[in-house]
Amino acid sequence: MELKNKKITEADFFKEREQVLASWHTGKDPALDFSVSLEYLRKIPEEKNFAMKLIKAKNEKITMIQPRAGVPIVEEHIKLLTYLQNCGADFLPSTIDSYTRQNRYLEAEKGIKESERLGRALLNGFPAVNHGVEGCKRVFEAVNLPLQARHGTPDARLLAEIIHAAGWTSNEGGGISYNIPYAKSVPLDVSLKHWQYCDRLVGFYEEQGITLNREPFGPLTGTLVPPSISNAIGIIEALLAAEQGVKSISVGYGMCGNIIQDIAAIHALQNQTERYLEKFGYKDVIVTTVFHQWMGGFPADEAKAMALIAMSSTVATLSGTHKMITKTTHESIGIPTKEANGEAIKASKFVTKLLERQFAVESEALIFEREQIEREVDSLIKFVLEAGKGDLAQGVVKGFEQGLLDIPFAPSKYNLGKVFPARDNEGSIRILNFGNLGFTEDIKAFHRAKIRERAMNENREISFKLTVDDVYSVSKGNLIGRPTKEGSGK
């Protein structure tokens, strides 16, 4: 069937569902029958429903906290989530393991058995498909907070079926954000179709009176991604989800480092997502924002790492975002201990409480940056729609083929990879090399001028060295990768 941004008919959805549920033995669980799952989901109290709690955060103008976490054994995963709940998390995650993300359930099964045999985690997350509805329900019923699957899966159809039937009321990802930054060889039209199914599943539950949340993954590659690129992709995924009937959408953003740019980006993301949904006729969608703490390289020193977490929390709260995803002081080492994860939650929560209902003042600089981001997003989406001759899904595929959309440092062969970012003299992320990005000439001129200003200030040439220096700068304690005193940086 040709990819189009059109709601999947109920008949086509049920036909595809038969194939999805037959793809692994846990898909045969009677708990996946809609008569069973609907009854279960209707009994979930509001305080354990992701969508309902996000509405609370939005109405009360507060920033809630969610960590990342996941281990392979159900009992150990419950212990981990209970610990993080007791540390003050407002939402709980289940980070899914790499085998499940690639639909390699047999290897995941072996990983579970080896983890049980050796008494330590041999998978880097929770294999929800292998544990099935029963295992996922055990996790959900053991905690008192809303639960979300966080992963990186181009084909999350069976995963989505299982976690939602088990009471997990949010699923992160999208056909772009869980393909291009994560996979090398998955065609975009394939991942977009698979995520249309995930969204149609949520839309089907919505039609039965069950509101589930969907969250496109905002940070993408997490490395110097210009706000307009990540915002445009988040908005596109929100529109694709809304077409399938999703009514609760959280659009995400990864911290870039310049406070004005970060706050402006969150404001632009909220405003433009709502504006585009309204423009395309989706008038009853609740939009919330998600701020990801610094996603780039972390300092090895734990005190410095905690300072970076505190700064991230400050910017997130001042931006008025509704949910913040935390990092830990172990980011430069590997998978964090539960203690390190808990400390980061406590530190982040402390900052958000101190700053509660304090927001950034609308300065000239903030307004200028927000309007600049919005102009760039409008340009990108306009080019994408033109490439697809009015069809957004087709436009995404053609847009990436032509480089109109291009994510820096993404591994996918379906990403042109010609866009290179660099910071300007104030630390805002600009674009050094545009490739074929869907920007108008006046937008390109703005970026060139900002990069030129920095290069002149540092007395060095405009080159890829700017990008390289900026990739490593924060882990070394500087926002901008300035040249060393020994050389000019040429």
Q: How many whole angstroms separate alpha carbon 157 and alpha carbon 353? A: 37
Which of 480, 482, 431 is closest to 459 using CA atoms? 482
Contact 126, 150 (CB under 8 A): no
Burial annotation 100-111 (CB, 10 A radius, 16+ → b, else e): bbbbebebbbeb
172 in catalytic set: yes
Q: How many whole angstroms separate alpha carbon 464 and alpha carbon 451? A: 12
Q: Which residue out of 101, 214, 430, 454 is catalytically annotated?
A: 101
Q: How many whole angstroms separate alpha carbon 204 and alpha carbon 198? A: 10
Cα 355–Cα 320–Cα 250 angle in degrees, nearest 5: 135
Q: Could you tell me what percentage of the chain is helix, strand and coil, using 3-state DSSP and rounding each to the nearest 5?
A: 50, 10, 40
Beta bridge partners of 213: 170, 248
Contact 140, 167 (CB under 8 A): yes
Q: Which residue out of 16, 17, 157, 172 is catalytically annotated?
A: 172
**Beta-strand runs (E) in 282-328:** 286-292, 323-325
Q: What is the DSSP letter of 189?
A: H
18 in catalytic set: no
* Residues identified as active-site: 101, 172
